Every structure is written in C-alpha cells, then in structure tokens.
C-alpha cells in the first residue's frame, strides 16, 4: 500500500484487526494522555492511580469523572450539577484503540472549557480520508451500554462512549479507508478532529502515529459519565 506522506515512517507499531498503525520514525512512544483533568498532565503513567482511565486501557478500567457519580450527580451535594449546551470545540476528543479487541475504540471527551457542559445522547463520529475529507460510511447509533444519560461535565472532566468498526476488504468498493475521525457532541453544529491513541501510547496528535482503518460500517454507543461497559458490543 502506498502511503502518500511527507515524512518517513518507522517500524510498524501494530496491526490491530486490519487497522494499520505505524509509529513515526524517531518518535518516542508518548506517555498516555491524562483525560481526567485532575492530575498533572506531565506526570508519568506510573503515577496514575489504579482504576483511573488511561488511553489504551480497556474501558472497564475507567472510573467516574472527578466530582461526579455514575448518575451524573455532584458528590456530596445530592444535586445534579447543571451546565450549558456546549459546542464540540469545548471538548478534546481521544479515540483509544483497545488491546486485543479488533475494531473497538474507547472515545473520551474531556471538557477543556471554563464552563460546565451538559451532555445527553450520541456523539457524531465521521471518518476522514488522507485529504481530511469526510467519508460517508454507514453508521448506527446503538444503546450501549444503555439508553442516553443526561449528565454534566465540569471543566477538566471526561465523558465516554464506545465505537465499533466493522473492517472490510480494501479491494471492496463498499470499504472506506479512514486515517482519522471527526467528532461532534449532541446538538452542536461543529465538529473537532479526534486524536487516535495506539495501545503503546503513541498518538496521531503529535505525529507519532499514523493510522488506517478499512471501514465497512460503524456503531457508536451512547455517551456516559463513566467508562464501564461502553465498549461492550454484542
């Protein structure tokens, strides 16, 4: 496969169920990004408490965002924290390849704004080709791990959803090769490019990872305040 790129790629980082992940030449493996917003972003992975969400970790190892419970309730107050309907640009979006689970991605949306944001429903996930143009791949919204949950994210807090990609044959006209994804939050008219994390911590945000996904179709789960169960597809 000819990769039309401006820089030379190094060794193959991983081939996950048909998804090609290449690590950039001379790029060290990046430390997993802190998407919780409650720890020093420069802290090494070893300093992350057991059970805290980390890119590349299975979804079951996530935990509630700081200051909220699984029901989106503010801890210690008994009152749900309400906020505003935010735009997609208020969030940083990571898509984390799940080890030994072909086609499964854990989506993490971190509120990078200075306001509390309300979420309820499904994020839109649109594949992008090498020219950054959108790809019209069949996509289904599914109630996994359940129906949508109305919850709020304070600045620095993270919400989650699962994405399942059905891989196809690149020789099939119904298969679309994606090198990235654009994500929009419910009710917003804008969308942002997601950062893809490999299982070794390398990512597309710093040029350390090149990813290709031969997509036949996709399923997107509902947004939830915790990571447990969001990638448990049938």
Boundaries of every domain in the chain? 32-39+53-221
Average pLDDT, the chain: 77
Confidence of residue 215 (pLDDT cuts 50, 70, 90): very high
Confidence of residue 64 (pLDDT cuts 50, 70, 90): very low
Tokens standing for residue 222: 């509902």
- Report cis status (omega within 30 of 0) of the bond before 145: yes
The set of residues, in sequence order, having a beta carbon less than 8 Å from that of 173 and lying 6+ positions away, is: none
Its pTM surpasses 0.75 = no
Higher pLDDT, 22 or 123: 123
SS3 211: strand
152-206 pLDDT per residue, tens: 999 999 999 999 999 999 889 999 999 999 999 999 999 999 999 999 999 999 9
Give the per-residue pLDDT at 58. 43
Q: What is the CA angle 199-205-206, rounded to 5? A: 95
Judged by average pLDDT, the poorest of 20-34, 63-77, 153-167 is 63-77
Higher pLDDT, 57 or 148: 148
């Amino acid at each position: 496969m000819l990769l039309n790129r401006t820089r030379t790629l190094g060794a193959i980082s991983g081939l996950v169920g048909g998804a090609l992940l290449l690590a950039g030449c001379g790029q060290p493996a990046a430390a997993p990004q802190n998407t919780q917003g409650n720890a020093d972003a420069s802290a090494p992975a070893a300093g992350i408490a057991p059970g805290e969400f980390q890119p590349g970790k299975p979804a079951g190892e996530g935990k509630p965002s700081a200051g909220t419970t699984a029901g989106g309730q503010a801890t210690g107050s008994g009152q749900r924290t309400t906020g505003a309907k935010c735009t997609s640009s208020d969030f940083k979006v990571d898509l984390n390849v799940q080890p030994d689970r072909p086609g499964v991605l854990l989506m993490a949306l971190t509120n990078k704004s200075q306001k509390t944001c309300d979420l309820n429903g499904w994020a839109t996930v649109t594949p992008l080709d090498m020219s950054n143009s959108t790809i019209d791949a069949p996509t289904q919204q599914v109630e996994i791990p359940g129906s949508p949950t109305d919850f709020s994210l304070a600045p620095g807090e993270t919400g989650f959803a699962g994405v399942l990609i059905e891989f196809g044959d690149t020789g099939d006209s119904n298969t679309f090769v994606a090198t990235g994804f654009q994500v929009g939050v419910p009710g917003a008219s804008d969308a942002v490019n997601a950062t893809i994390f490999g299982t070794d911590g390398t990512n597309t945000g710093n040029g350390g990872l090149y990813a290709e996904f031969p997509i036949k179709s996709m399923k997107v789960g509902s947004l939830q305040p915790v990571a447990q169960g969001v990638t448990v597809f049938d």
